[in-house]
């Protein structure tokens, strides 16, 4: 067995996309490749591998239709250059001839990036085919989530991948890590000295993270009913967002050690218990095509996390996500402790400073301050929201950023296996039917039982 043991540093000499005629390629990959060409990042052969019965011209037509679908001009200079870089191999992934043809299409290129836009059960077969063709050494591989469906399956999948590639050659995609507003969380934290010293148990009362989706499962019933909210977004996206907000600043120059910081934070989170979780299912979910009539899959989950670290011990952290909620928005809400002494004799008062970080849509930060209400006798306080760092939609697509980072061998935008396993350890105890299921109305904020997870009777922060 040939094993990829060479270095993964340096620019990739070719990009090979397995599953290049699938939905992800149509919706994200081809538009991202145009952006990479336009920025001068991509100028190497792009080999698509799939079993569609197509030839190169049909593959290029598929790419053209993808660009039109994404409202991009296929006749622009960058698009025409991208289309010219395309190669195509049609074949069965179980056939050694497919990998021989792939190798021929790559030619003499080294440091090849293999992007697996396929279900995880195909990862091992593809990895073996690449190795048997003698093209694994010095290569890197980019794989889509989900990386397993629980802790055990994630570990088994990782052992399989490590037979063919070293850890630093595996780029595990969590698309939210390439999301521009999520990256803005780092800028807000580490480019502003006024915030970072306050983010600790000494000043923070509680942290809430909400990922609300106004839409329902729609035509994804069969997929979603096997997945649910915990596996779909809590185990990956939301725990990663939590780590972006709460992990210690990385030491040294740059972000090379940032994944170490995130790993340490997530490793400090205790595994959840059923008492720390509320699951919900929106009214009408059972009527969706592809959903089992007796399904207990959750479309909503809320959890209360406990973090055993010097910095965050005792600070309640609550996370919730759900479908058919009143808005589509993702926000981090950090509530600071009240002043230690009531100078104005106004207690009890619910007013306190908060830092709000909008992750979607767009990027925004807001700081709530307390001041005196003007024009009144005596001390009457009011809250003012100072919004800043507002950003319009990023010009760089998420997959433009992710594929570009993998082509360059930059790993900080990707999830590391120890962190993925730590996330599974957190959620494993609440998978399946370990937590009772509550029903909730559409256009509500989920089951009222989720209020029990909040500290001291504090309400949920509902994104506007």
Please state, in angstroms and rounded to a whole number, the distance separating the CA atoms of residues 66 and 60.
10
Choosing from 149, 203, 205, 237, which is the catalytic residue?
Answer: 237
| The token pair that represents 281 in the structure block | 């299912």
Look up 237 and say whether it is catalytic.
Answer: yes
Nearest to 325 by CA among 212, 464, 439: 212
Cis peptide before 348 (omega within 30 of 0): yes
Q: Which two tokens stand for residue 149?
A: 């469906």
d(CA 125, CA 131): 10
Tokens of 51: 């079993």
Q: Measured in whole angstroms, how far is the alpha carbon of residue 407 from the centre of its chain?
A: 19
- Mind spelling out the 3-state secondary structure of 209-242? EEEEECCCCCCCHHHHHCCHHHHHHHHHHHHHHH
For the record, the structure tokens of 232 come out as 């779909």
Give DSSP secondary structure letters for 136-158: -TT-EEEEPSPS-SSHHHHHHHH
Side-chain-facing half-sphere of 267: CA atoms under 13 Å: 11
Question: Which residue numbers are catalytic?
Answer: 237
């Amino acid at each position: 067995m040939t094993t990829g043991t060479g270095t993964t540093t340096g620019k990739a000499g070719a990009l090979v996309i397995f599953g290049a005629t699938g939905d992800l390629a149509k919706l994200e990959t081809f538009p991202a490749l145009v952006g990479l060409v336009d920025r001068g990042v991509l100028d190497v052969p792009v080999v698509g591998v799939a079993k569609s019965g197509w030839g190169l011209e049909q593959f290029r037509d598929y790419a053209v239709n993808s660009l039109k679908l994404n409202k991009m001009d296929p006749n622009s200079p960058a698009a025409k250059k991208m289309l010219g870089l395309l190669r195509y191999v049609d074949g069965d992934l179980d056939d050694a001839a497919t990998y021989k043809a792939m190798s021929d299409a790559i030619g003499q290129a080294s440091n090849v990036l293999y992007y697996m836009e396929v279900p995880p059960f195909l990862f091992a077969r593809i990895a073996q085919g690449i190795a048997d063709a003698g093209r694994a050494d010095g290569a890197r591989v980019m794989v889509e989530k989900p990386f397993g469906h629980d802790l055990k399956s994630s570990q088994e999948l990782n052992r399989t991948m490590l037979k063919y590639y070293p850890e630093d050659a595996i780029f595990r995609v969590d698309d939210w890590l390439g999301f521009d507003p999520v990256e803005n969380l780092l800028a807000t934290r580490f480019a502003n000295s006024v915030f970072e010293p306050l983010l600790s148990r000494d000043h923070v009362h509680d942290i809430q993270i909400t990922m609300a989706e106004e839409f329902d499962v729609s035509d994804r019933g069969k997929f979603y009913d096997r997945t649910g909210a915990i596996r779909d977004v809590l185990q990956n996206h939301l725990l990663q967002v939590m780590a972006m907000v709460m992990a210690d600043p990385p030491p040294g120059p740059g972000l090379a050690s940032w994944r170490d910081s995130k790993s340490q934070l997530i490793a400090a989170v205790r595994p959840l218990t059923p008492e720390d979780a509320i699951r919900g299912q929106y009214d009408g979910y059972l009527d969706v095509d592809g959903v089992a009539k007796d399904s207990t899959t959750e479309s909503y989950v809320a959890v209360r996390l406990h973090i055993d670290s010097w910095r965050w011990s005792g600070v309640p952290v609550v996370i919730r996500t759900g479908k058919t909620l009143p808005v589509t928005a993702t926000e981090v809400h950090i509530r600071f402790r009240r002043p230690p002494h009531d100078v104005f004799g106004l207690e009890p008062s619910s007013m306190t400073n908060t830092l709000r970080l909008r992750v979607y849509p767009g990027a925004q930060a807001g700081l709530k301050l307390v001041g005196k209400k003007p024009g009144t006798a005596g001390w009457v306080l009011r809250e003012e929201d100072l919004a800043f760092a507002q950003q319009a939609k990023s010009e760089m697509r998420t997959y433009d950023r992710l594929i570009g980072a993998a082509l360059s061998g930059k790993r900080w935008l990707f999830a590391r296996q120890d962190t993925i396993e730590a996330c599974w350890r957190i959620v494993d105890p609440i998978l399946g039917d370990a937590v009772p299921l509550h029903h909730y109305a559409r256009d509500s904020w989920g089951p009222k039982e989720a209020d029990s997870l909040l500290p001291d009777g504090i309400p949920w922060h509902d994104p506007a």
